[in-house]
Structure 1
Amino acid sequence: MCNKIFFILTVVFSSMTFYAQDKTSKIELGFNYGFGSELKNDDYTYSNSYYKLHLYYTLKKTKRFKYEILLQPELNFATHQLLNPNFVQPDDPNYIEKRERYTKLKDIKEYVLNIGFLMRKPIFKKASVYVLGSVGPMIIDTETERLSKGFAFSNVVALGITFKLNKITVDVRPNFRHVSNAGLQSLNSGYDTTNIDFGFSFSL
């Protein structure tokens, strides 16, 4: 199902580029697909893949840099499993039942709205590099030993490179992501992952 959605969006966005305006537009629309996994540890596994729509708006452009804001809705599909049952301590009520429940492999969905700031530097006529920081509210649909079900935040720091191919901008974005709920709920150890995004965008 996800592959079908990705294919449909790719066709739609690619066809829309024929109607894109010139490259001086301040607004770009695009689509990213990414995947990643947890930082190496002995307590848990976490792997994810995700789909993002993104809307860029140029705030300022100088001779050396371009500054943009980013709005990026995201749908994240993850799998998670507790490896170390002792992560759930005996002083936790019903800890035996929780250990049994949390050590089972789980499928998780996350619904995110990333809001970010991007600083871009051209390196060639058709290429640029950038640094991106974003934070966004999210809803997670499954409780684990590391994070309560419900409201949380997704924080991302990324380095990226883009290439201009006619009217389409191709994007490659390695990134680090931290998910937690800022102590707003009882479980808040969160997840730390390294990921990579691949995407494209075009001017409106």
Structure 2
Amino acid sequence: MKQNFTLSFFIALVSIANSFVGNAQIKKEHLKLGFTYGTGSQNKYPFDLKTYTHDVTFYKARINYTLKQKQKWAFEINLEPGYNIAEHQLLNEHFIKPTDGDDYLEKRALYTQKRIIKEYVLNCGFIARYCIYKNISAYAIGSLGPMIADKPTERLAKGFAFSDMFGLGLSYHINKIQFDFRYSARHTSNLEMKQPNNGHNTINMEFGMLYQL
């Protein structure tokens, strides 16, 4: 079910982007560059599973391009290459069962420790933005991209995976500077290419700044 959603989400994003890009002429003044800092945690509603903790700090570059603007609406493509630092700990050792392998006791001993995981991510997203009042706008964003994690957890294998995100944001514009706040939900999984693939979920708050060229 999760892998079907991820594939459908990716296909939808590519289709939307192609439909706009195919009819758009690239313009420098539609391009914005910036950065984002944020934090996220699994231990927030509606996730908050008692079996593990997973806290993430995000550092992202942002490349944003306005595809189309009409009256109060704007539609944008958003690229976010990022470096994430996650702190993970298994709280319920019985999540790892004897059927998980002859080394299940070693896995319990490893995963019940607090461990730092580094993630390298490239998210590609689509933004629908609405101007509320003068220099204030609100938006919704959906994005998806490849991710590489340098360590496994009891819920996700080491290496290649996907990072899916949906968020709502608020922006304030001053001349060519845009200040940005975003509240989002994120899911990571690997489409069953490796096991385990229960994945991680976090609720995130992010702050960013962009400069219009």
CA shift, 1:165, in A, is 2.2
Q: Give the CA deviation at 1:118.
A: 0.3
The DSSP-based 3-state class of the residue aligned with 1:58 is strand
Where do residues 114-129 of structure 1 align in structure 2 (5 Å cutoff)? 114-129=123-138
- Pairing 1:141–2:153 present: no
For 1:165 and 1:67, the matched residues in 2 are separated by 20
2:32 to 24, 28, 32: 28
After TM superposition, which residue ranges in structure 1, 4 or more long, deviate above 3 angstroms?
none
Determine what percentage of the aligned residue pairs are the same residue. 46
Structure 1: any 5+ residue segments left out of the alignment? 1-23
Distance in structure 2 (CA, Å) of the matches to 1:133 and 1:25 = 23
The residue aligned with 1:57 is 65
Q: 2:50 aligns with which of 42, 45, 55?
A: 42
Alignment partner of 1:67 is 2:51: no
* 1:91 and 2:117 are equivalent in the alignment: no
Residues 122-159 of structure 1: per-residue CA shift (max 9 Å, x gap): 01111100000000101000011011100000000000
Deviations 1:58-112 (A, max 9, x none): 1111113100011110100010000001101111111111111111110000000
TM-score, normalising length from structure 1? 0.87
For the residue of structure 2 that corresponds to 1:50, the secondary structure is strand
2:84 corresponds to: 76
RMSD of aligned residue pairs (Cα, Å) = 1.0
**Ranges in structure 2 where 5+ consecutive residues have no aligned partner:** 1-27
* Corresponding pairs, count: 181
Distance (whole Å) between structure 1 residues aligned to residue 181 and residue 104 of structure 2: 43
